[in-house]
Amino acid sequence: MPNTTKLSLALAAALFALPLTAFAQDEVAADEVAAEEEASIYSWNAAIASDYVYRGVSQTDEKPALQLGADLNFDNGLYVGVWASNVDFGSGGPDVEVDTYIGWNTDLTDAWNLDLMLTRYNYLGEQDGFGDGDYNEFISTLAFNETYSFTFGYTNDVYNLDDDGFYYAVAGSWELGSGVGLDVGLGRSTFASSTGFDDYTDWSVAVNRDFGWVNAALGFYGTDASGDDNFGDAGGNRFVLSLSIGG
């Protein structure tokens, strides 16, 4: 998701590098830019990654990914957005995933935040006979103190197989100092028996740091033996390096 904080931090660093004689004038300009950013309802994000991993499983056959997204965020907490990435599910499969979503985000208290989102996973470019993988999913996330989060996802048509899929996850984010962040996640995917997929567990551990406008992240992702049974090599353990920007 977009991160406007990076833009503000990068701008502040640039201002401190300027001569003191120009600081007052540029401080006013910075305030104007900040005010415009705060008033804007539009945000965007872009990333390149050594692999696109979703719930522990490679979506690009362990190859690099280019990802782009944009959102409209309204004062009442409603938002709509689109996000896209290249994908590779084998011969004849789609080339691009385009996720469209609508949601609502609100602070329940000073500590608790609730996010409710309906996502449509759209896959483009598959050949005739490969099958249509498009489906919808409802995802709710409850966050505490911007550190811990609890996620529940449900679809009645997982992978376009006309049956139920559930996702449960817990995650945590901490500052380690010197601008380094640590993110840890544990998830569980369960499926109706008619889908032919085994329930499986995924996990992730990642560190990240801002370098000017760019956030660099290195993560380790994987699934249990059932994930390997479901997805083969795509469910195996792997390191992923990503570089992202947003505004």
Provide the domain limits for residue 119: 43-246
Q: How far apart are CA 59 and CA 235, in angstroms?
A: 10
Q: What is the mean pLDDT of the chain?
A: 88
Q: How far apart are CA 177 and CA 207, in angstroms?
A: 12
Same domain assignment for residues 31 and 51: no
Same domain assignment for residues 150 and 211: yes
Query: What is each CA distance from 153 to 109, 111, 119, in whole angstroms?
Result: 23, 22, 10
Q: How far apart are CA 70 and CA 79, in angstroms?
A: 11
- We report the CATH number of the domain holding residue 193 as 2.40.160.40
Give the total number of structural domains in the chain.
Answer: 2
Same domain assignment for residues 179 and 237: yes
Same domain assignment for residues 27 and 127: no
Same domain assignment for residues 30 and 116: no
Each residue of 229-238: pLDDT tens digit?
A: 999 999 999 9
Residues 6+ apart with CB under 8 A from 40: none
Same domain assignment for residues 98 and 207: yes
Each residue of 167-201: pLDDT tens digit?
A: 999 999 999 999 999 999 999 999 999 999 999 99
What does the pLDDT read at residue 40? 78
Each residue of 55-94: pLDDT tens digit?
A: 999 999 999 999 999 999 999 999 999 999 999 999 999 9
